[in-house]
Chains A and B, each alone.
Chain A
Amino acid sequence: AQSVTQLGSHVSVSEGALVLLRCNYSSSVPPYLFWYVQYPNQGLQLLLKYTSAATLVKGINGFEAEFKKSETSFHLTKPSAHMSDAAEYFCAVVTGGGNKLTFGTGTQLKVEL
């Protein structure tokens, strides 16, 4: 079954520093992958998605992710963290014949002054 693993349930960075949130997938076929963000007391919002069109995917708020088949990874990055980036981030993979998403356990990002 297809699944994703997010390494690090909590990540802390300084404002202005690089943000790197890790996501590895397990799939026997080329996967479709998503990153969602959840701000406190809100629902999830799409950041970006990999649909096999391009390996480097750019999303909202300056985030991007690179699909690396050799490493089975889809890590999320942002060159310079902002206080407003503090949130929980979820990686997800399409499953169930294309009908469903399976989510990782999430990474809480803290941004410090």
Chain B
Amino acid sequence: NAGVTQTPKFRVLKTGQSMTLLCAQDMNHEYMYWYRQDPGMGLRLIHYSVGEGTTAKGEVPDGYNVSRLKKQNFLLGLESAAPSQTSVYFCASRLAGMSTDTQYFGPGTRLTVL
């Protein structure tokens, strides 16, 4: 099992450009999450999904959109990138049901917006 994978690993964008980050999991998990990590701020939840075809806003959703068309994939889109979106983005997935189920994390995508 590859677990949770993220594509790409690094990306540099110019202000106003758009891009999509892909998260894939092969563990048949129902729940998937997108976080951003910034120095001194821990991880903050952007959007999440509790199943195929469903999405919900997290703590910092502005400027991002998501889609969960397939159970194994969760896409994070930036429509018009801004320097404030420079961050490390992590995807995670969780089995379902039990709130004590572990979230498994991908290796991260480092995004720089110039």
Contacts and interface: CB of A to CB of B under 8 A. Distances in A.
B90 A43 contact: yes
Pick the most buried of B31, B45, B58: most chain A CB atoms within 10 A of its CB: B45
Given A9-B40, A100-B45, A100-B48, A46 B100 contact: no
B12 interface: no
Interface string B40-56: 11111100101000001
Nearest to B99: A98
A63 interface: no
B107 interface: yes
Give the bracket for the number of chain A residues in contact with chain B.
20 to 34
A105 B40 contact: yes
Interface in B52-104: 56, 58-59, 90, 92, 98-100, 102-104
A36 B41 CA distance: 15
Interface residues of B, number: 26
B4 interface: yes
A105 B43 CA distance: 7
A49 B106 contact: no
B48 A99 contact: yes
Contacts, number: 54
A104 to B, nearest CB: 6
Given A32-B99, A49-B100, A98-B99, A43 B106 contact: yes
13 contacts: A34-B102, A41-B108, A44-B43, A44-B92, A46-B102, A99-B48, A99-B56, A100-B58, A101-B45, A101-B103, A102-B59, A105-B42, A106-B40
Interface of B: 4, 31, 33, 40-45, 48, 50, 56, 58-59, 90, 92, 98-100, 102-108
Q: Across chains A and B, which 6 residue pairs bring their CB atoms closest together, nearest first?
A: A98-B99, A43-B105, A103-B42, A105-B42, A44-B105, A51-B100
